[in-house]
């Protein structure tokens, strides 16, 4: 397992980060198996775990907390806040009021007295960034959080957050967690360069494009039972499906020529980018984990990367990719003259 520096911090993290989104009711409800997955990842050299308060309504954090008990000091532990955690309209977002409560809830569920990397799960269009950064800075000064990060921030918000931290002389975001895969390459034009300019680590989520880059979805075949596209003929109804099938077929040929599985090609592609620190792998089962771990040392040469560029050009997304920015400036009331 390779270890890389997290941005400009002094922390070294594994080139694979164990994502815990599938731990709990939305993925694997066998909590004992989830704990075994964590233990196996640690044995393989993974020292970086990422979860979020919203995953299975907090169950993911609880599972991770139990799994790392007694090994907390060996792990770089990351979690996230922002998404709704209840019916109350104030139990969400980037306000100081919510942040000071959300962090206490996460600390309790994780069974720890500090979080190594505390990330804002999405940018909050409705809250001043300086309010958010001020509250997060207080958490660092209190020792409850060591480093701050963002997730799925557009490039202009990444830059604005750096400027705001400079204006207020507060702790800044040291890491960005974007969607990035062969299918989702738009961030190569702005997000990744912005992160590099500001010395931020990058830990991409969904490097397998929601399972598409495992080869599980094939033209003319039903989606596998239990997969994300298995319900209501989602493959047939999604207008982006034909283009995705074409890309999967082209990428499979490239993987075969390189002596790799499609999964390993996709993971190698993400970790090959010089801006990327660690790719988040999100196994639901032990079998999936073992396959993902086997890709830890995959390196792609220039010829393979050039061939991938022919299928999905640099800086572009496949149809149907959603970076979930939800820009309110594009709403009719904000753009009518």
Query: Cα–Cα distance between 213 and 187 in angstroms, integer?
Result: 18
**Is 217 annotated in the active site?**
no
> Alpha helices of the chain — where are they, by DSSP H?
31-43, 59-67, 96-110, 129-142, 155-168, 191-197, 234-237, 241-258, 262-272, 286-293, 302-311, 332-335
What does the DSSP 8-state code read for residue 158? H
213: tokens are: 């880059």
SS3 33: helix
- pLDDT, tens digit only, all 337 positions of the chain: 999 999 999 999 999 999 999 999 999 999 999 999 999 999 999 999 999 999 999 999 999 999 999 999 999 999 999 999 999 999 999 999 999 999 999 999 999 999 999 999 999 999 999 999 999 999 999 999 999 999 999 999 999 999 999 999 999 999 999 999 999 999 999 999 999 999 999 999 999 999 999 998 888 787 787 777 766 667 767 788 889 999 999 999 999 999 999 999 999 999 999 999 999 999 999 999 999 999 999 999 999 999 999 999 999 999 988 887 677 888 888 887 7
- Residue 272 half-sphere exposure, CB side, CA atoms within 13 Å? 19
- Give one DSSP letter per residue of 247-316, joined into a string: HHHHHHHHHHHHT--HHHHHHHHHHHSTT---EEE--SSHHHHHHHHTTTT----HHHHHHHHHHS-TT-
306, burial (CB in 10 Å: exposed 0-12, middle 13-18, buried 19+): exposed
Select which of 55, 147, 180, 217 is catalytic: 55
Q: How far is CA 274 from the centre of its chain?
A: 17
Report d(CA 96, CA 55) in Å as an integer: 22
Q: For domain 3-214+263-302, which architecture applies?
A: Alpha-Beta Barrel (3.20)
Q: Rg (Cα) of the chain, in Å, rounded?
A: 20
């Amino acid at each position: 397992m390779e270890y890389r520096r997290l941005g400009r911090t002094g922390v070294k993290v594994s080139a694979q980060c164990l994502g815990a989104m599938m731990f709990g009711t939305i993925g694997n409800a066998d909590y004992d198996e989830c704990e075994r997955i964590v233990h196996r990842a640690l044995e393989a050299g993974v020292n970086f775990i990422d979860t979020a308060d919203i995953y299975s309504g907090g169950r993911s954090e609880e599972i991770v907390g139990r799994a790392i008990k007694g090994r907390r000091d060996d792990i770089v532990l990351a979690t996230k806040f922002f998404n709704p955690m209840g019916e109350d309209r104030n139990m969400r977002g980037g306000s100081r009021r919510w942040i000071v409560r959300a962090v206490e809830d996460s600390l309790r569920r994780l069974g720890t007295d500090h979080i190594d990397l505390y990330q804002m799960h999405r940018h909050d269009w409705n809250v001043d960034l300086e309010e958010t950064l001020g509250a997060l800075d207080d958490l660092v000064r209190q020792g409850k959080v060591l480093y701050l990060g963002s997730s799925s921030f557009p490039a202009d918000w990444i830059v604005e957050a750096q400027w705001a931290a400079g204006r207020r002389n507060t702790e800044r975001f040291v890491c960005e967690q974007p969607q990035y895969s062969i299918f989702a390459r738009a961030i190569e034009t702005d997000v990744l360069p912005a992160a590099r300019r500001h010395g931020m680590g990058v830990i991409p989520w969904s490097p397998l494009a929601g399972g598409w880059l495992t080869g599980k979805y094939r033209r003319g075949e039903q989606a596998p039972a239990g997969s994300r596209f298995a319900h209501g003929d989602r493959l047939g109804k999604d207008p982006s499906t034909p283009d995705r099938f074409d890309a999967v077929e082209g990428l499979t040929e490239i993987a075969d020529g390189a002596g790799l599985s499609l999964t390993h090609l996709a993971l190698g592609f993400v970790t090959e980018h010089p801006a990327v620190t660690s790719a988040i792998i999100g196994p639901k089962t032990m079998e999936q984990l073992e396959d993902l771990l086997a890709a830890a040392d995959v390196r792609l040469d220039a010829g393979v990367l050039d061939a991938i560029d022919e299928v999905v050009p640099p800086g572009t997304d496949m149809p149907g990719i959603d970076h979930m920015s939800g820009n309110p400036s594009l709403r009719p009331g904000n753009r009518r003259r």
